[in-house]
Amino acid sequence: MNNFHVTILTIFPEMFPGPLGCSLAGKGLKNGLWSMDIINIRDFGLTKHKKVDDVACGGGNGLIMRPDVLGLALDAALDAHPDAKIFYPSPRGSLLNQQTSRNLSKEKNIIILCGRFEGIDERVIDEYNVQQISVGDYILSGGEVAAMTILDSVVRLLPGVLSNQETLKEESFETESEGLSLIEHPLYTKPVIWRGRKVPEVLLSGNHSKIKKWKESESIRITKAKQTSF
């Protein structure tokens, strides 16, 4: 049985699964650990040109995705999955973080509405109780790349997607110290010396207590440094 299902609404269905069809997410998709449906919003567009947008009421630059078109597309998605929560990638949304990804990974069905142009009619957000998620304080050409970012962060948390679930416990934002949600410590592998740079001695010591303290100390240092703008 699938752990997680997502329905993507987009005017560019050819963009999916994209990176989500590769590596761990792709294997999980192939093995049925999660599933995806794509709905082309243009299938519900107006006139022979399948128009999905129009000029903004009150003036302004750019076009807005029409509520009547989006409503039909969302209704089709909800007909298949009535219990699905609807999400819209938007700069106005709550910032995506690890806790959000964990919460989403526990859902059975979600819908992600990928906006284009200047955005979507506000009435769609109100009518369907759409929850907005931001992947950062910058602007993308559309919601598709943001949707992939959201899903990649979620799918890797699903049971069975990672063969070693223990690795999740040491990743960035999965541990806390000094009131901080920590970023992962620096990572090293062989060779021990590369271009004159050596792996820190403590990691070669075999002293697990010292190694653990070093990792925590480095995580705290990096996390604090990240809070400083460059």
Last residue of a domain, one of 155, 180, 203: 155
Which pLDDT belongs to residue 1? Answer: 47
Rounded to whole angstroms, how far apart are CA atoms 53 and 62? 10
CATH code for position 18: 3.40.1280.10
Q: Are 123 and 215 contained in the same domain?
A: no
Last residue of a domain, one of 155, 184, 208: 155
Range of the domain at 209: 166-226
pLDDT at residue 175 above 90?
Answer: no
Examine the domain organization and report whether 77 and 187 are in the same domain: no
Task: Estimate to the nearest angstrom the gap between the alpha carbon of 13 and the chain centroid.
Answer: 17
Q: Which DSSP string corresponds to 84-120?
A: -EEEEEEEEEEEP-HHHHHHHHT-SEEEEE---TT-B
Over its C-alpha atoms, the chain yields an Rg (Å, rounded) of 22
The domain boundary residue, chosen from 123, 155, 187: 155
Task: Specify if 211 maps to a domain.
Answer: yes
Number of domains in the chain: 2
- Helix H or strand E encompassing 177: strand 176-177
Q: What local confidence, expressed as pLDDT, does residue 25 receive?
A: 96
Task: Answer whether residue 161 is part of any domain.
Answer: no
Give the model's pLDDT for residue 224.
87
Q: Do residue 132 and residue 188 come from a single domain?
A: no
228 or 193: whose pLDDT is higher?
Answer: 193
Would 160 be classed as within a structural domain? no
Mean pLDDT of 129-157: 96
Indicate whether 216 belongs to any domain.
yes
Residue 3's pLDDT is what?
82
Tens of pLDDT, residue by residue over 54-98, are 999 998 889 999 999 999 999 999 999 999 999 999 999 999 999
Considering only the C-alpha atoms of the chain, give the largest distance between any 2 of them, rounded to a whole number of Å.
71
Q: Per residue in 190-203, pLDDT tens?
A: 999 999 999 999 99
Instruction: Name 14's Cβ contacts closer than 8 Å, sequence gap at least 6.
Output: none
Lowest mean pLDDT across 43-47, 127-131, 182-186, 190-194: 182-186
Domain identity same for 116 and 207:
no
Note whether 182 and 76 are same-domain residues.
no
Q: Are residues 135 and 82 in the same domain?
A: yes
